[in-house]
A and B are shown apart, each in its own frame.
Chain A
Amino acid sequence: MPPPYPEITAPLRAHQIEDALADLAASFPTLCTRTVFSGKTAEGRSHSYVKIAKGSGNRPAVLVIGGIHGREWAPPDALVAFARNLLVGFQAGADISFPTMTVTPLVGPVVTYRAWTIKAADVKAIVETLDLYLFPLVNPDGREFDLTSLSEPGWRKNRRPQAGGEFGVDLNRNFNIIWKFEDYFDVALYNASYGEDPASTSPAEDTFRGPSEHSEQETRNVESLLDTLPIGYFVDVHMAGRNVLFSWGLEENGNDPLMNFQNQATFKGKRDGLIAGDPALPAGRTDYKEFLPDDLPHRVRSRAELIARAMHDEILRSANGGTIPAASTAQRTHSEYKVGQSAFLYLPLAGPSSGCADDYACSRQFLLANRKPIFAYTLESGHDEEQGFHCAYTSPPGHFRKINREIHAALLGILKVAVSARKKSGPCLIATATMGDPGHPDVVFLRTLRDQRLRATPFGTRVADVLDRLYYRVSPAVARWLDRHPAARGAVRVAVIRPLVAALRRALGPGPAGR
């Protein structure tokens, strides 16, 4: 089916999603390539992903997956729509437009949302700067079963037969990251706090982790992409709950490198699974926190949250024509996503989980050479007031349309970060002239601060761009003048650069050393 594509008005069947991806690859052969996984699902279905990119070379790579849980209707459809919109928008050089819409939540009055657009310039930057991999439907068997059995709360797992006549594995407990949770957690302590384990060992349960780590073809498909592609950004789109979750989901983020998922010699069976300050932690016991580095240049821990907030802000902008709605408005109330670390966003009902896709993605930066940094997210789209897992596509009106817009917005938020992270400013002319060496530690520190830290978010990038424009208007002349006046150079070094760098180092940490 060539474009224009019709609005999606019912959840797509698995074969429709495959057909849609094949069609995109055929319709946009220079921009979109489709790869079919060699392994088939338990019910014999093929599935595939697409790469959207114009150009080649060493580019930031982003992987977005959906449909890992069969019953979560909106994400696969929204990812198909996102791929279509990007490709059509890029080829036409046009904005992606979302018209004014009204949505009828299950609770409260109808809400009107203003028109919103993804600018053609952003579409162009995404397609020309990034390698974007979209894998809309990880679990086609589970989706088909859910769509043909139509019950609540729906079908979460895949459909591979299990012991005892049961069916299915929760793919999002099957990844090879602390899969065997009893080797990692103090299970008694964990269970006393949450009333259950991080995953289930029973095939009858919804969160059954499977007979072994990455036992499922669907899991291995996602793992293969994360292992072989240079993915720097990962989003697993789910529903429902309006949450943006950043890694880790294994435990609270910490700064002790010894506390890491690979250190079984010290911490086997000792991870408490409790948030800092939880009175359930036995007296005298050190609170385990999973290491996530926050050192320059990548600032993984800090930037993980900054990027999540960029996704959150873009969702809010999409609810109000491009500007964040005021706190008291209905648009804000019905579009507010919680941002938090995966491990503890669902307190008091749930704590850390094992075997999840986002944590597997995050772990690659510790296990694979040259893969740092990786920023991994789970987006829980939709809400109970939009019918939970089974959102309405037509009546009541607007549920899928709204969720679809929010998924577009969240992805725009992270993709703009990925685009801007590639962008670099020019050299620090004044600092270089003053210190006499572009590799001087203070110059490297300032340059890294600007290129890595400030440009970590779209807002920071805009600030950096404005500062760049101002700076490069005057700095070449100032640098040339400093070159000719050694005394002034020394004065600027002592009175400006060194105190500035010292203050920034105190506030932000030491950063890289330079040469």
Chain B
Amino acid sequence: MGLIRIDATAEVLRGLHDIPDLYLVKPTVVDLGADRYRVSAYAPESVIPELEARGAEVRVLMSTQAIDQFHNEVANDIAPPPPDT
């Protein structure tokens, strides 16, 4: 999954619940005024055309590939498990 930012109207945002694999991070919602809101979400890039078809503007903050690379780096950085596990 990638990390994306979605700008849309309230009606569009409320209608996104039915999109599989789209995970809205609700605490990030910001009121942009004029019935436009911004919220971040995790989703595969394949979801973006559907979002745009519903009237949302989408910006990719981190691609799936970039996140995978980040995970690989973190896996090397975090400590090993405790010795007794």
Could you tell me the distance in whole angstroms from the C-beta of A28 to the nearest C-beta in chain B?
23
Could you tell me the distance in whole angstroms from the C-beta of B11 to the nearest C-beta in chain A?
8
Which residues of B lie under 8 Å from residue A395 when comparing CB positions? Answer: 73
Could you tell me the distance in whole angstroms from the C-beta of A130 to the nearest C-beta in chain B?
28
B82 beta carbon closer than 8 Å to chain A: yes
A103 beta carbon closer than 8 Å to chain B: no
Could you tell me the distance in whole angstroms from the C-beta of A401 to the nearest C-beta in chain B?
15
Among candidates A151, A241, A338, A348, residue contacting B25 with C-beta atoms closer than 8 Å: A241
- Determine the residue in chain B with the shortest Cβ distance to A193: B14
Assess the A195–B27 pair: CB atoms within 8 A. Answer: no
Assess the B77–A10 pair: CB atoms within 8 A. Answer: yes
Known: A152-B1, A388-B3, A388-B40. A393 touches B77 (CB 8 A): yes
A390 beta carbon closer than 8 Å to chain B: yes
Instruction: Give chain B interface residues in 59-79, CB to chain A under 8 Å.
Output: 59, 61-62, 67, 70-71, 73-75, 77-79
Assess the B27–A346 pair: CB atoms within 8 A. Answer: yes
Interface range for A: 35 or more
Among candidates A10, A206, A240, residue contacting B27 with C-beta atoms closer than 8 Å: A240
Among candidates B23, B40, B73, B82, residue contacting A384 with C-beta atoms closer than 8 Å: B40
Assess the A384–B70 pair: CB atoms within 8 A. Answer: no
Known: A349-B13, A388-B25. A10 touches B74 (CB 8 A): yes
Docked pose: A91 CA to B39 CA in angstroms: 44
Could you tell me the distance in whole angstroms from the C-beta of A141 to the nearest C-beta in chain B?
12
Docked pose: A16 CA to B56 CA in angstroms: 42
Assess the A394–B77 pair: CB atoms within 8 A. Answer: yes
25 residue pairs of the A-B complex, CB under 8 angstroms, read A10-B77, A11-B74, A15-B82, A106-B61, A106-B62, A151-B1, A151-B71, A152-B1, A152-B3, A153-B25, A195-B14, A195-B17, A240-B25, A240-B28, A241-B27, A243-B27, A338-B30, A349-B37, A350-B26, A380-B27, A384-B40, A388-B3, A388-B25, A388-B28, A394-B77
Residues of A within 8 A of B (CB): 9-13, 15-16, 106-107, 147, 150-153, 194-196, 206, 238, 240-241, 243, 338, 345-350, 380, 383-385, 387-390, 392-395
